[in-house]
Structure 1
């Protein structure tokens, strides 16, 4: 029997890469996202079931789950990639921006998990939540994003603790910079300020990362593929960093690294 996976945020970036990778391995793919046209493009390459709607809206899920059950009979895995921004310092964010940061990054994962858990319990399936290195550390002026991504780690651990006895595994993947359309957009400020191209901007944000580069979407999809597969059968409640080594850097010692590199 073919395995079935549902992916949110599947229209582009990491979500689309997960869909393509798993479909190539014989998985039946359900594609969830807000942009119908983008999902349909991914569906052409994956023969996926397109479900256009907002993963953060609980009202969308009963209909989605009914369609998944009718088409595929159930779910073996869920990869929750839907997310968004959350810019600004705490003192500068208005109520609407704060709620949207939590909604797009945390509520989307919670409603996805809650709706899909009955199907995952039936097949002793696996759930992967897409966090970020912002789940572990704080960048400048991204209070909403950082708070929501930190909360995803707590959600991961709570789900793993509560549903492990049912055979459901839950893990969180925390990428660093990944070359996606959203990250490309974030590079625009650097490109404009330094009058440089996209490649130079990515090199700039990766200058102190041990591997000296951003990840590709497919590299993160490969981590997700491992976590939903049988080879990760004992892995649950884990927070897997996939950041090129960014979070192992001792920031106060960077001055010595730069000193050593000078003639």
Structure 2
């Protein structure tokens, strides 16, 4: 099922658009007829996605208010902002004792500041158009993985940001939701498989199978599957949905972890 996006409303603005879920969102929205604006720090990646989607390339840092002044000026010339899909993120590995001040600040900037600064910059136009925001969070927004203190804390913060924005700007017609993926096969997740590949001699497919062994669907998502969830939340089909954290994790968050030992008896 598809959810066509009315291009007359303005641009779908996607941060972290050069790779992974952001790239998949760009392809998805462009296929639904939307004009997409691609934000990221690596021009070559953005231009590659733009060649596939006809998107507008806006090179810069989504966490920078100064860069957003430039982005907004360019977006106004393209019809304004109809939706924001905040995909930029990453960093934050290590336990608390392994996380220095610079690493902590980098995790907050990559995951929280990018979403907050982007939303703040886009809100005036979203209010005008009664638009929507989708924050790409994580199941790390709901539970803690091992030794990812900065990432877990930042992703939890995104849920608070989403709820605050939904409460404050819902009366002005702006819907704000979050998507919480589990494992998604992206270049970033591929890198996270490397320790398992080294330790167990797994192939990449075998490493993904290992981390998904207790996921009810027994597999990772594709970036395109998460993009479809984002597409639904930004579409008129989700017109009553706001303040929601939509979990798209193959069912992993419903597993009662303390009972897994009984399955292995």
Alignment TM-score, normalising by the size of structure 2:
0.96
Counterpart in the other structure of 2:74: 67
Counterpart in the other structure of 1:97: 103
1:228 lines up with 2:228 in the alignment: no
Residues paired across the two proteins, number: 258
How far is 1:84 from its partner?
A: 1.1
How far is 1:95 from its partner?
A: 0.4
1:15 lines up with 2:57 in the alignment: no
Counterpart in the other structure of 2:259: 253
Q: Distance between the aligned counterparts of 1:68 and 1:95, measured in 2?
A: 35
How far is 1:200 from its partner?
A: 0.3
* Structure 1 unpaired stretches of 5+: none
Indicate the SS of the match to 2:88. coil
Q: Distance between the aligned counterparts of 1:15 and 1:196, measured in 2?
A: 28
Runs of 4+ residues over 6 Å off in structure 1:
none
Q: Distance between the aligned counterparts of 1:154 and 1:30, measured in 2?
A: 26
Counterpart in the other structure of 1:198: 204
Q: Distance between the aligned counterparts of 1:21 and 1:52, measured in 2?
A: 20
1:38 lines up with 2:71 in the alignment: no
Q: Distance between the aligned counterparts of 2:16 and 2:169, measured in 1?
A: 24
Written as runs of structure 1 = structure 2, the 5 A alignment for 1:1-263 is 2=7, 3=9, 4-71=11-78, 73-259=79-265
Deviations 1:90-136 (A, max 9, x none): 12211000000000000000000000001101100000001000000
Indicate the SS of the match to 2:113. helix
Q: Distance between the aligned counterparts of 2:105 and 2:75, measured in 1?
A: 29
How far is 1:153 from its partner?
A: 0.2
How far is 1:56 from its partner?
A: 1.0
Counterpart in the other structure of 2:3: none
* Structure 2 unpaired stretches of 5+: 1-5
Indicate the SS of the match to 1:30. strand
